[in-house]
Structure 1
């Protein structure tokens, strides 16, 4: 197997972005001079000229001030440094040439005594510029950590797809700089990968730690940090993915461990789930061969249980292409995508160029369309609405066959675009035909383009001016025609419900 380039675990041992005074001084455009440095990191920098600033500060921050409050009593600056130290600040930035030409010696001595970093900022550099530089660097670090996490997750996905559980844990162990062990609730090891840069430990120790913390755990044991991510139970058996490292696990590291555990769950669960499904199908085939009475409802319940969502709902879809080869290519690609996600494809070939499918009901039309969009080519896709799996009937397929004709070549159509498809149902068609004869039918042969006038009026939402503009006639002419229409078909066109009814009747007859 080709070796993979691994992400260095730069996000492993810290939960926050931070900078040092040494880094700040390296930004020459800031004109900073260091007078005392304790080497501490900081992520908050705050200008404050108050003489009693304690309640407004957070521990570990850096305070910027010019000493303007001490213009007439510079000897009090040393006491101010001590106040800031008691408030928990890690550093002080002193703006010179505003009030004081340089940093007073008493301030330097107090800073050294209190263990607080001290630096000066020249007059040419406004404090806001220093704040901006720090915030830009912190933002860069956060973005870098996110990118590292995404790259590490991508590597885990690749490892899981190409090399299974062993390769997944190998890549995870190197990215997390940790030992990784997959252990069940009885202390049996399903898989493990050791990292030679991390001190060894015994499995008995690990079993003892799990017994103390049966759920998700995180603990420090001597030089080691132990963190576990529980995986869903398989019957009475449950698994936990455990990482052991000398480093603390930061937020990104814990997220990467959760991702690794999720992939491990898919790999472990997939053979068991497929075995159960195959066993159900084998049992069904055997029962039919022996002539046993098999209740159709029970069979469907077992089969559709794996595709329906938690509420028992599914979402139908229909793919229609121009060639059998093109449709086969699309379905193969989609099946591979679903396999990588640990999902099954439920499909039925209607003919050489049409495939009917069902997906989980909680999958949105957009998600299903995204699955096909890049490989659709000159085929078309129609996605239906949610329905209970026991409502799947041939009429659902027929409905999709009707609405897919509205999709452009290489396009998709969802339930929102299905419009008034219910008008095609036979009982509705019968009622619509009768209503059409009572209304639009009476306008046939009446002259004066009454049918066209009524249609334009309805589509313009009852607006006389827009109707007249569309028909290129005067408003008064439109009004006269509408009055004649009301008299002929015995309706009130001022009523919005009546207008909606007439529009639906017209649409129904057009579709028919």
Structure 2
């Protein structure tokens, strides 16, 4: 807000003396100096006009003041001791008659001192507005992390009024305070002016209620000055933001409302970025061709990434539009185009397990097993590791599948009724018998895993500390986990 004339008049260093009442709320937009008999052509309104009365006489004082009042100047500062030793009585009388603030400027106060003082006050007001807008926008940004309702609550608090978030039909989605929801019905007729349409007429009486500009509407509704702004970037609003305050919003408040609308627009538009992804998923489920720029695209690779930060990394990378990420206990699973597997692993950083390429959606489940097994080995190296790089594949590849599966079924039969025991055994073997590591992979307490391992040993009647027993069990698990395909490597833990 511009500085008030009363505040300027009260500055001790200027020594200004009011000769007529000074309105307490009259703003000063600038300081102008003129000795013209009619300076109004060079004024915009709101100025404190300084003059020495060089062309002022008793005969023209009344008309001089009348012209300034019509131009809506804030007031007149009359410098004495140059042309006039005192302010002419005719000017004082005319100022009183027209209600114009008249200040006596002493000879010792140069006009430039008055100009500098107002300039400093304007700069301080501007800085205060910028600071307030910055602080409000920062508070709104923090609130946006908690959702649209939090933005509405914060906005109402910043403006000292009420705020509504309306859907496209004008129904209330969020209101602050809750009682403000009752105002929505009165606003509904005006929302049509913010919707596109070549033949959309303005509601009757619209000119009396307010005015519409691009994307926003200002009106007076009962005891409130209301601003309504469209939400969204498309041709049609995705909703509306309405705020109401007891007095018209100053410029800085409009900036704050604009920031809130931008944040709400961002939240409303963000889901659009996942449309291609959802369309691709639907295509896969229906057995239809997937869109060109979306995942999953086949051949696809499954990655198991130890660093859960991969989710944020994909959000910030264009590659994320073609990947699907699923958080799992202790790691994140990502379905990515096979050609981009190593790039995803690089984004993840640290250990990752990379499956062999999957040709179609039904192959992804087996690829997940491969990725999690590769991750178990990668945790020991701290680097990305492909399933085809795991040691032991050569040995498993030379086994006769029919004989190997018969051996595996017989060996693991005592555990068939308790899947948790098979899962625990697999994690225990993958960790090299390290309970702490295996329990972490399974997301269970180490005492729980220790109990399960003891039960496995009891049911199998085998010593799990024996390397030979572990090797047999390792082969058996690899065989049974690939019942319909080639024998592969076991060693990772399926998560419960």
Matched, 1:109 2:96: no
For residues 279 and 235 of structure 1, the distance between their equivalents in structure 2, rounded to whole angstroms, comes to 23
Q: Tell me the secondary structure at the aligned position of residue 19 of structure 2.
A: strand
Q: Deviations over 1:21-52 (max 9, x none)?
A: 32112221112111112412221221111123
For residues 58 and 243 of structure 1, the distance between their equivalents in structure 2, rounded to whole angstroms, comes to 30
- 8 Å contact from structure 1 (residues 233, 239) kept in 2: no
Q: Tell me the secondary structure at the aligned position of residue 229 of structure 1.
A: strand
**1:84 Cα offset (Å):** 3.4
Change (3 A) 1:110 1:169: same
Q: TM-score, normalised by structure 1?
A: 0.51
> 1:149-228 alignment to 2 at 5 Å?
149-161=133-145, 163-194=146-177, 201-211=182-192, 214=195, 216-228=216-228
Matched, 1:52 2:38: yes
**1:119 Cα offset (Å):** 0.7
Q: Deviations over 1:102-144 (max 9, x none)?
A: 2232322221112111111111211111111111211221121
**1:335 Cα offset (Å):** 5.8
Q: Which runs of 5+ in 1 are unaligned?
A: 1-16, 305-323, 357-375, 377-512
Q: Tell me the secondary structure at the aligned position of residue 242 of structure 1.
A: strand
**1:77 Cα offset (Å):** 4.5
Tell me which of the two structures has the higher relative contact order, counting C-alpha pairs closer than 8 angstroms and 6 or more residues apart: 1
* Aligned CA-pair RMSD: 3.8
For residues 205 and 213 of structure 1, the distance between their equivalents in structure 2, rounded to whole angstroms, comes to 15
Q: Tell me the secondary structure at the aligned position of residue 28 of structure 1.
A: coil
Answer with 214-223 or 346-355: which moved more: 346-355
> 1:95-134 alignment to 2 at 5 Å?
95-134=79-118
Aligned to 1:240: 240
- 8 Å contact from structure 1 (residues 179, 195) kept in 2: no
Q: Tell me the secondary structure at the aligned position of residue 42 of structure 1.
A: coil
Q: Which runs of 5+ in 2 are unaligned?
A: 197-215, 297-304, 324-335, 350-496
- 8 Å contact from structure 1 (residues 173, 195) kept in 2: no
> 1:255-266 alignment to 2 at 5 Å?
255-266=255-266
For residues 86 and 260 of structure 1, the distance between their equivalents in structure 2, rounded to whole angstroms, comes to 38
For residues 108 and 236 of structure 2, the distance between their equivalents in structure 1, rounded to whole angstroms, comes to 70
- 8 Å contact from structure 1 (residues 21, 37) kept in 2: no
Q: TM-score, normalised by structure 2?
A: 0.53
- 8 Å contact from structure 2 (residues 280, 291) kept in 1: no
For residues 187 and 86 of structure 1, the distance between their equivalents in structure 2, rounded to whole angstroms, comes to 43
> 1:441-480 alignment to 2 at 5 Å?
none
For residues 67 and 344 of structure 2, the distance between their equivalents in structure 1, rounded to whole angstroms, comes to 83
Larger radius of gyration: 2
How many residue pairs match? The answer is 304
Matched, 1:137 2:136: no
Q: Tell me the secondary structure at the aligned position of residue 101 of structure 1.
A: coil
For residues 312 and 279 of structure 2, the distance between their equivalents in structure 1, rounded to whole angstroms, comes to 27
> 1:342-381 alignment to 2 at 5 Å?
348=340, 350=342, 354-355=346-347
